[in-house]
Amino acid sequence: MISAFIFDLDGTLANTALIHKEAWEIGLKRLEIKNDVKIDYLLGRKTSDIAKLLGGEKWKELMEIKNEEYLRLVEIKAEPNECAKELVSTLMSKGVRVAIVTSSNGVSARKVLDKIGVKYHVLITSDDVVKGKPDPESIVIALNKLNVKPMESIGIGDTEIDVEAYYSAGLRGIYLLRSGVPFNEEKVRERNAVIISSLCELFELIS
């Protein structure tokens, strides 16, 4: 019996994973910070964690610029991924509990959710946790708020970070959506993740 679905937000329900990347690149350019860190492989982590890895001593300034640019870009570019709204609304109509667990802060997450029009029962953001993904803390908090057990729950994300968090939390099933964010296919399959190309694949299954 599946009682709950836990969704990542950026790259999973919305096309915003690469918008985050663009905002980081703008911040780095504005502050003239140069490094060899691949932003693509950091996506999915808490904003503050990424800022520290990219910005060094300027991490707070970088994070501030990134957040401002992200909100501006969301207004212009954010859209729901294909079948995202249909999948979530169908799950909720069937009595399945839905949580959205994101590494974005509360302001950014709510801005995106308002823009794409996706509903939910519980929202967990980086503001609600001490340790961000891949630590399972945010997933455990969501499960507790939904009042469901891990083995009654399915997790859906688009990064290795999501897969690791779901796996560590002991979820019954994990789906990894191809969103343009790179991942190690062998590694995620070792975590029993099923790789999908579109949320429409899940929508067809539950329909």
- How far apart (Å, rounded) are the C-alpha atoms in residues 99 and 20? 21
Calculate the average pLDDT of the chain.
Answer: 96
Q: Residue 1 has what pLDDT?
A: 86
pTM of the entire predicted model: 0.92
Q: Residue 207 has what pLDDT?
A: 78
Contact partners, residue 78, CB within 8 Å, separation at least 6: 14, 15, 16, 19, 111, 112, 115, 116
Contact of 13 with 84, CB cutoff 8 Å: yes
How do residues 60-104 score in pLDDT, each as one tens digit? 999 999 999 999 999 999 999 999 999 999 999 999 999 999 999
